[in-house]
Structure 1
Amino acid sequence: MLRSPLLAVPHGFTTRTGGVSPPPFDTLNLGLSTADDPKNVLENRRRVLALFGDPPQAGLRQVHGATVHAVEAAGEWEGDGLLTHTPGLLLRVSVADCYPILLHEPVRGVVGALHAGWRGVVQGILPRALALAQARYGADPAQVRVAVGPGIGGCCYQVGPEVVEAFEQAGLPFYRPDSEPGRFRLDLEAAIRAQALQAGVRAAHYWALGACTYTDSRFFSYRRERNTGRMWAVIMLAPT
């Protein structure tokens, strides 16, 4: 379990180790949507949740968009982001190349978890989450701590011209030409950082793990393996 020095609340980014799943899901696969035996996945989930005291959970049916929900009880929502100010409620998102983003605003007592693929970034999932946190809870973006977990890096994220065009239109020119004609390398984490700072997050309150899922064997990578597992990013306010 990896953690950010910025977040003073229970949280973590899982790796692919510490579970019971066999190859190619070895070992801590947390994705029930994979071809792994559900019994293995449930045991892996049990192990992760035990680290947080087996709390109630809020999860997502992720759709690679930018819908963010403010929630105060356990359940599952369709979208790619969750916010809460309820102590003891664990928020989770699932990833395997897309970026997990965890948020904490310590003054108002708000936390968030976001799943950010290229579509979500273009649509502004992080700025939307910050705006909702401010409107719903009074959270000041300047007080929000943003922690970005492992995702596919600009070194390896090859995309086509349609993706580049979308990022150009969004004012996010964080790409470079690839050696393959008509292809590009997209730095999704740089785009996330730019959006965070533009939305009012202080530079000192932004942290990124800086690990590429495609090249780092500690992590599952859908692009690298296709038939592979899923990781979680989780966060909660400590129970009162």
Structure 2
Amino acid sequence: MTDITGRVALVTGANRGLGAAFVAELLERGASKVYAAARRPGSVQSDDPRVVPLELDVTDPESIGRAASIATDVSILVNNAGIAVNQSLVSGDLEEIRRELDTNFWGPVLVTRAFSPILEANGGGAIVNMHSTLSWLGVGSYSASKAALWSASNSVRVDLAPAGIQVVGVHVGYVDTDMAADVTADKVPPQQVVEEALDAVKNDEAEAVVGDTARYVKSHLHEDVRVLYPQLAR
């Protein structure tokens, strides 16, 4: 169990959408400081003195290293930054697919490698990784990147448990943010996502499965793959 009160947190992709919601909710739950990390820290909008804008590009190891040298008091890390390029793995643009994997998979892995020693030195804590329902239900390159992150979370959870570091994977369907603005589907409010994710941190859980879509897909993972992909049954 990780109590957020008095903790120092870092959120990647914190300048808008789900990242900004994480920053606000961490403060609401008593965090003493939140590093709001973004490629352009000037885009972070907050008048709260507990919010510290921090330059961090999750695809740049040098940028990650600089951030880690500054934010040495962190004990809660939220790997939120992500992109969606919506490419086919068979016929899509390989450079775009690599960019997506660099952001959605390698980004959290590299940030975790840089900050897990800091969390351990500060007595342990928690890492929250934003997965997706599409970690389980494959739709092109985005799903592949999130499935890879899901697997990475399961691996580092085992590696970091002896250091007292909890790893929470968050699975959710479409979230009502700019990334899903063009999607016509039921969307989960960002506030619900961050509340359930941080409840999982508080309650020492390994996953937060947020919303009806995520819960439905997870409930069918044990079945034949054609249940999730009805087009294969035709």
Structure whose residues are more often strand by fraction: 1
Structure whose residues are more often helix by fraction: 2
Q: Shared topology, TM-score over 0.5?
A: no
The structure with higher relative contact order (CA 8 Å, sep 6+) is 1
Q: TM-score, normalised by structure 2?
A: 0.38
Q: TM-score, normalised by structure 1?
A: 0.38
